[in-house]
Amino acid sequence: MYVFKTVVGLTQHLAHRRALGETIGFAPTMGALHSGHLTLLQHAKVENSCSVCSIFVNPTQFNVASDLEKYPRLPEKDIELLLRQKTDILFLPSVEEVYPPDLPALPAIELGQLTTVMEGAYRPGHFDGVLQVMHRLLTLVRPDRLYMGQKDFQQFTIVQKMLEQLPLPTVLIPVETVREADGLAMSSRNMRLTPEQRTQASFIYKTLQWAKQQVGQQTPAAIEAQAKQQLESNGFQVDYFTLADAQTLQPIELFDSVEVVVACTAAWLGDVRLIDNLVVKGELR
């Protein structure tokens, strides 16, 4: 595996590979890698001639300083996992490499109402940071295929919208959420849960599945209210539990008029914030 810490090293190497006709599959991450990340990289490896992982804990997408400080960083273990995975390239840049002082401003990108709801409403500025880092990384890597997890549903929807407006050859491939045996979506943040919280955490997926069963039986508003209440009586502090149109991400009032509906939630256990989602009506295309 090639490990690059500088933009120059990475871009020169990729230019060489591209000139040889190689295709590039890219999975950007913030490290503390788990099987969810490794599944993205597995796709990148199988579907392209060159797989690229980036590990960069992007400071501009954290709206709370303590969350950035507490974010797990395990570079040695990550490198070991990537070697085992036979990932071709790891990009492991510093903040200064990603954000040099002369970096041009982000071009104007039209996102409509995609960023105002759910994570956008609860984490002000978060998606500005996500778009900034994704634009930078995509411009450097210029992948043929970009692999992102469905776990961050709003994130990949917004990045898809950005890609449609950029002169890049990249196709975004959303990858299904990888879960623990009890249904908890894998996340680097899970390692911060106490054993008791870890047991409680599986209730998020159970609630999402319950919501799916209720489609057609109750209104979206009634399902949302009960789901929230169920989570709260199981020890969570809920930011939101929303039934949203999977295309526009706007909350729905009725199921009938919407082809694909996704239940999205964010909830706290102590000081750990967990997010998850499940398509409850229709199928993602």
Q: Nearer to ligand AMP by C-beta: 30 or 252?
A: 30
Q: Nearer to ligand AMP by C-beta: 175 or 280?
A: 175
Smallest gap from residue 132 Cβ to ligand AMP (A): 14
Q: Which residues bind ligand AMP (CB under 6 A)?
A: 29-30, 36-37, 39-40, 148-149, 151-152, 175, 177-178, 185-188
Question: For the chain, what is the largest distance between any 2 Cα atoms, rounded to a whole number of angstroms?
Answer: 58
Q: Nearer to ligand AMP by C-beta: 135 or 151?
A: 151
Q: Nearer to ligand AMP by C-beta: 55 or 252?
A: 55
Q: Nearer to ligand AMP by C-beta: 15 or 284?
A: 284
Torsion over CA: 241, 247, 251, 255 (sign): negative
What's the distance, Cα to Cα, between the start and end of the chain in Å?
34
For the chain, the C-alpha Rg in angstroms (whole number) is: 19
Smallest gap from residue 178 Cβ to ligand AMP (A): 4
Smallest gap from residue 226 Cβ to ligand AMP (A): 26
What sections of the chain are H helices per DSSP? 7-19, 35-47, 65-70, 75-85, 95-98, 119-122, 126-141, 153-163, 195-201, 203-214, 220-233
38: left (phi over 0), alpha (psi -120 to 50) or beta: alpha
Q: Supply the residues annotated as catalytic.
A: 37
Task: Single out the residue of 260, 275, 232, 226 nearest to residue 120, CA to CA.
Answer: 275
Smallest gap from residue 213 Cβ to ligand AMP (A): 22
Q: Which residues contact 257 (CB under 8 A, 6 or more apart)?
A: none
Look-up of token digits 């579907």: 47
Task: Single out the residue of 175, 128, 187, 169 nearest to residue 148, CA to CA.
Answer: 175
Name the amino acid, one letter, at 190: N
153-163 and 126-141 helices, crossing angle to 10°: 50
Smallest gap from residue 71 Cβ to ligand AMP (A): 9
Residue 208 to residue 276: CA distance in whole angstroms: 8
Q: Nearer to ligand AMP by C-beta: 78 or 224?
A: 78
Residue 221 to residue 214: CA distance in whole angstroms: 11
Smallest gap from residue 222 Cβ to ligand AMP (A): 29
